[in-house]
Structure formats: C-alpha cells, structure tokens
Structure 1
Amino acid sequence: MSATIRQAAGSLVVVGLNGTELTALERAWLRLVRPGGVILFKRNVTGAQQTRDLLEEATGFCCSKALRCVDVEGGTVNRLRDALAPIASAQAVAAAVRVAKKPALARQHGELIARAVKAFGFNTTLAPVVDLALPEAAEVLGSRTAGASAADVITYAHEFLAGIAAQGVVGCGKHFPGLGGAAGDTHFVTPEIQRTWPQIWHEDVAPYRDLHREMPMIMMNHAAYPHTPGKNEPASASRFWIADTLRKRIGYKGIILSDDLEMGGILKFLPVEDAAIAAIRAGSDLLEICHSPELILRTYEALVSEGERSAAFRKVLLATARDTARKRARLYARGVAPTLSAMKLEALRKSILDFNETVAAIVDASPVAAPRAASPAEAS
C-alpha cells in the first residue's frame, strides 16, 4: 500500500528543472518521485535538440505518458523566443482578428505555437490565457489577454485551441476563475479580487463555460474572491471553485492543474504541504512546482504522509491518480513528434516571423485597435 501511495503522490506532481542538463541530484530525486511530468523554462532551453534530449532523459524518470510542458503564449511569455523566434501576443492577434474580421488568424497563431513546441519535444503548451483585459490587471497581464469582453476572448480562444489541437498538442486555459480583476501579481501576493459572483459567472468564467470541452487542461490561479462563496481562500485550494464550480456546475471533465505552488499567492496563505493537500482534496489533478527541489520533495512527502495517515485522503489520492493516468493516456497517445531537420526548423522560424509581420500590419493600419504596451511580466 505504501508503494502505491508513493506512486500516486509522485504522479500528481509536475516539476521544474534548474538547467539545460540534468544534475546528479535531479536524477536522484526524479527517480524517487517519478513525477507526472516536467515543465521547462527559458533557463532550460538553448536549442531544439538540446531541449529534446533534456526532456527525453527527464521524462524517462516520470510515470508513463508524462506531460512535457512549456509556457508559449506569444508576446512576453514565450520560453522559446531566443531559441527559435518571438511570436505575436494574444492581444495583438485578437486585435488583428477584430480589425480584419479573420478568426483564422487566431487559429494560425495556435498552429504555429503548437508546431514550435512540438519541434522542441514538448507535448503541452500552457496557453491560452482567457483572463479578461480589465483595468485592474493591466500592468500584471499586459499583452497576454485577448480582450476586455468575454465575447472577444471566446472568439480568439476557440480558434487558438482548434489550431493547437490540429497539431496534436495539448492546450491549457488559464487562470480559472479569472485574473482580470487582480490588482496584484499572484507570484508575490494573494490578490483579493473585488468582483461579485454574478460578474465572475457571466463575464470571467464565460470562456470556460463556452469552451470547457475544447480545453484539455485548465489551470487554477492563487487569487481570492471575497465577494463570492469562495471567500478569502485562494481558488487553487478551494473546493468551491474546483469541485463545486468547475467540475459540477460547469461540468469540466479534463485535467485541472494548479498554478505553481512556489508562488507567493499560495505560500503566503498556506505552507506548500498544506496547499498541496488542500488542492488535491478540492479536486485538482496535478500540482505544478517549477523550481525548488526542496519544495518538490516536501510536497511529495506531504501527499505520501497524508495518504498513509488518513484513509479518506488516501482514497482521494489513489482515485485522482487513476483518473489522471487515464486522461494522460488519452491526451498523449500520439507520443512525441519527430525531430525537425535544420531546414524545416528554419522554415518554421520564417513562418512565425511572417505571421508577426501580417499581424502587425493589420493592427498598425487601425490605431483604434492597437494593443497597449506589453508588460515585462513572464508569469505562467
């Protein structure tokens, strides 16, 4: 039973690595934890083959059908920018869609991003952002958002998700139930979003209500919503937001992923051990920990210890692990895309740059639709 609990606990963690190659220490804790997947950042990526080699070795220590995650949204959040090419932001593409009345541009955005992440050996991009572009979060979210209205966000995200899916890459809608009203950055604080339940349900959550069947994965945020039944608890640890709202009321059946448990938005509210247990109890499937081996191991041991101590939690832990394994097997049945030749990689880079020029030309021709300056934030 203890071995089963350990296998289950490890399979619910998605972990970050420190460099461009595995260290001996990383091999040791990866072998112990056997996580459900890995997430790479700019610090881990120098080129396509190097990244593929790192992913291949790291996921060799993971459970089967492991996630190979990266944040490539376009704009400021693009971990492949230096290794491949910058790509237009969601805000710029959505503006071009509105001006040109060409939703296919959003689909092309998704396709190009999916082709890029596949070329580097990933199977998942943590995009699109479906937060609303409200004034409160303008400095934090910058150009990551597609529009201030749910309708604009839905138009963009529907096509973007279709483009990703057509390339066999898994996308992730984020950050549920919405960070548009967050005046603070969840990397550092737990924002208290001053929006009412009717506002959130009819506006912030509308993209999830419309598109949840098209989102293989949804990421929970670390903000609190004091004017809703969720009160002051971060959404990522809240049964109201995860089990009651996302699972039951909306009917979501895909993978629910926590945002990084290293972020101040959750750690200033709960220790990482308590946050991990609360997230699984509330209905999350996977827990993201993006950097610290200490926090990865503390999370893993907390899940194991609670599973051994509590029969009720053990039942939830094992059931979640079984259910998530089935979802992973379905989502990642295709395996890893083949390596691109240098010529094909260069052609992909040129296609991205040509797309950027097309989007910029459309937006520049319509000053009213021009996007605001991008935030320097590189949040996940």
Structure 2
Amino acid sequence: MDLEGGRVDRLRNVTGPAPSAADVFATGDGKLFRKHGAVIGKICSALSFNVDFAPVLDLAFPASRPVMTSRAFSTDPKAVVRYAREFLAGLRSAGVMGAGKHFPGLGEGNLDSHHDLPVIKKSFNRLWAEDLAPYRTMKRELPMVLVNHASYPAGTRDKLPASLSKKWITDVLRRRIGYRGLIVSDDLEMGGVLKAAPIEEAAVEFVRAGGDLCLICHQQEYVERAYEKLVRTAEHDMRFRRRVLESAKRVEVFKRKSNELKRRTPVPSPEKISRLSTQLWEFSEQVRLQKLMATSAGAGR
C-alpha cells in the first residue's frame, strides 16, 4: 500500500484523508510522529495490507518543492531520520512494515518521475553527505528500500535511472552503505523509467542491477510482459539466473523472519473501518491544532 498521508493517500476515499508528513512534522511532537505511523498502520492492517511504502526520506531542497510539496519536510537529514524512526515504530505497532524511499534521493529533482526522468546534477560527495545520510543512518532499521527513477550523471557517471543502475543498487546501496534488506523498484510503469526502457527490459535491468522486487502497479499486461521476459532471460542467461535466485532466497528468508508477514490478515470489517475513520479524523484534528500552536509559538519568538 502507498499511504504516506497528504498527497499520496490511496485510501482517502475509504477512510478519509490522512495528514501529510510535513503537517505532522510541523507539530514538532515525536509522539505524534509515531502516532501518524500507528494510525496509518491500523488502517492498512484492517484492510489486509502488511506493507506500507512509507516514509519518504527525501530532503526538502528548494528545487524539488514544487514536485514533492508536503511529501518532504526538511533539509536536515537528522530531522528526517527522527520522524522516520517514529513513523516506522508506529507502523510496526500495528503489524505493518514500512519502506524508505526514494533512494538515492529526490530532494534536488525538479521533474516528477511519474512523467519524466529527473536529472539531478549533484556530486556524489554531496549526495553521500546529504541525501544518502538517512539510508546510511537507518540501514539496519529499514525493512525495504524503494529505488527511484532519477538519473545522477555527476554522481555515478552514467545516465541510467537509479532503478536500472548497478552502481546505485549494488555498489552504493548494498556494498558501500551495507544495506541487507529488500530492494524494491518504484512503479516500473512510471514515465521516468519508461523513457529509458520498455517495461519488460526495465524489469530485467532492475533485477540485473541488484533489485529484489519489481513494482508494476496498474496494467495486468505489463505484469505479464515483465514476468515472461524475466523467465526467458533467466532460462538463457546463467549469470542472470543466479541473480534471480539470489533475490528469491533473500525474499524467502525475509518472509520467514518477518513477524508482520506471518500474521493472518483479517477480513475487512465495515464497523472497524468506521471506527478507524473516526480515529483518523480525530488524529488529523489533533495535528491541525498542534501545528497551529507550534506555528503561533514560533511567530511569537
């Protein structure tokens, strides 16, 4: 499930809108950061979802603000980590696991990767110190990392989207950072990656680069094309087959060790959804009022 709150809220027509990360962060209250994850996690769990592709770890630099809006909220990696840790703890309390995104960072991107390929001209040293800091700090805390469809030519000297780049997925995320969890692609139907490769080639290149799980979120035809291409490539390319088996083993071990994936998913109950909708509304009001008080206190200094 893709439920961050704010702009990205796939369940707003079911339970009502959840507040954005930026609104919750503006309260300055770590307990509300955790409650944000808990409220969202309870909704996901009640509807039989055990994974939420959140929180966003992108930094809120000026270049990306028109695109990211309330999805990102600070230029300080430590502030992003503080919110993300509490949000993830809230999700876990509801039996839901999260995913850090969008590696290696969309904070300097001025195009929307849903439609275009952002080209982020930022040196690797700056990316390492700024955008990658949350991933380095939380490498043992993130069950999954979701890789974006932006290009970083100054950082790695290739023009590929990060989602198709072995340098980013294997060399940087796996080896240099030392991340051991699951690596997931952003939706492979997005324009940012389809401008670089058709869907079936994108799936193969993501796995070849070191990815574990391909997200294809809308068209059944694309799912079938990608699956068939992955199977055919594995049948004829021994090195690629080993790469697929490596990811398959990682996914199998992950599922066996993850308590969230062992739980029996409940049958959705209209009464429970109604109660959670009320709790969500109450939480949203709490965030609104506390943000207002925090803003007023800041203005009075």
Q: Residue 311 and residue 172 in structure 1: after superposition, are their counterparts in 2 closer, same or farther (change >3 A)?
A: same
| Residue number in structure 2 paired with 1:273 | 200
CA distance in 1, matches of 2:297, 2:219: 41
Answer yes or no: is the 8 Å Cα contact 1:131–1:145 preserved in 2.
yes
Q: Deviations over 1:294-327 (max 9, x none)?
A: 2211111111111111111111112221221221
Q: Kindly indicate whether residue 288 of structure 2 is the aligned counterpart of residue 357 of structure 1.
A: no
| Separation of aligned partners in 1, 2:101 and 2:216 | 16
Structure 1 distance, partners of 2:35, 2:120, is 33
Superposed displacement of residue 342, structure 1 = 4.3
1:165 Cα offset (Å): 1.3
1-structure distance, mates of 2:262, 2:247: 23
What residue identity is the alignment partner of 2:286?
T
**Aligned residue among 202, 225, 249 for 1:322:** 249
Partner of 1:108: 35
SS in 1 for 2:262: coil
Q: Distance in 1 between matches of 2:224 and 2:45?
A: 29
Partner AA of 2:112 in structure 1: D
> Pairwise mapping of residues 221-232 of structure 1 onto structure 2 (< 5 A)?
221-232=148-159
Q: Which residue of the partner structure matches residue 3 of structure 2?
A: 72
Corresponding residue for residue 25 of structure 1:
none
AA paired with 1:338?
P
Asked if structure 1 preserves the Cα contact closer than 8 Å seen for 2:104 and 2:131, the reply is yes
Which residue number in structure 1 is paired with residue 123 of structure 2?
196
- Aligned residue for 2:13, secondary structure, equals coil
Which aligned pairs between 1:244-255 and structure 2 lie closer than 5 A?
244-255=171-182
- Residues 197-217 of structure 1 show CA distances to partners (whole Å, capped at 9, x for unaligned) of 111111101111111211101
Contact 1:230–1:240 (CA under 8 A) maintained in structure 2: no
Could you say what secondary structure the match of 1:87 adopts? Answer: coil
Residue 276 of structure 2, aligned match among 318, 330, 348: 348
Mapped partners of 1:338, 1:307: distance in 2: 36
What corresponds to 2:68 in structure 1? 141
CA distance in 2 between partners of 1:324 and 1:338 (Å): 23
* Aligned position for 1:182: 109
Superposition TM-score, scaled by structure 1 size = 0.75
Q: Work out the CA distance in 1 between the residues paired with 2:273 and 2:35.
A: 17
- 1:1-380 paired onto structure 2 within 5 Å: 70-97=1-28, 102-331=29-258, 332-339=260-267, 341-367=269-295
Give the total of aligned pairs: 297
Structure 1 residue identity aligned to 2:165: S
- 1:10-29 per-position Cα deviation (integer Å, ceiling 9, x unaligned): xxxxxxxxxxxxxxxxxxxx
Distance in 2, Cα, partners of 1:154 & 1:295: 35
In structure 2, how many angstroms separate the alpha carbons of the residues matched to 1:295 and 1:340? 29
Cα gap change, 1:249 to 1:133, in 2 (>3 Å): same
C-alpha distance 96-275 of structure 1, shift in aligned 2 (>3 A): same
Q: Deviations over 1:168-212 (max 9, x none)?
A: 101011000000111111111111002111111111011111112
Find the aligned partners of 1:165 and 1:209 in 2 and give their Cα distance: 21
Q: What is the SS of the residue equivalent to 2:85?
A: helix
Q: What's the % identity of the aligned pairs? A: 42
Distance in 1 separating the partners of 2:105 and 2:41? 24
User: In structure 2, what is the Cα distance between the partners aligned to 1:319 and 1:136?
Assistant: 38
Partner AA of 1:345 in structure 2? I
Secondary structure of 1:284's aligned partner = coil
1:230 and 1:280, CA in 2 relative to 1: closer, same or farther beyond 3 A?
Answer: farther
- Structure 2: distance between partners of 1:233 and 1:369: 46
CA distance in 1, matches of 2:256, 2:227: 22
Residues 342/289 of structure 1: CA separation in 2 closer, same or farther (3 Å cut)? closer
Q: Which runs of 5+ in 1 are unaligned?
A: 1-69, 371-380
Structure 2 residue runs without a partner (length 5+): none
Distance 2:13 2:151 in 1: 35
Question: Counterparts of 2:219 and 2:272 in 1: how far apart (Å)?
Answer: 36
TM-score (structure 2 length as normaliser): 0.94
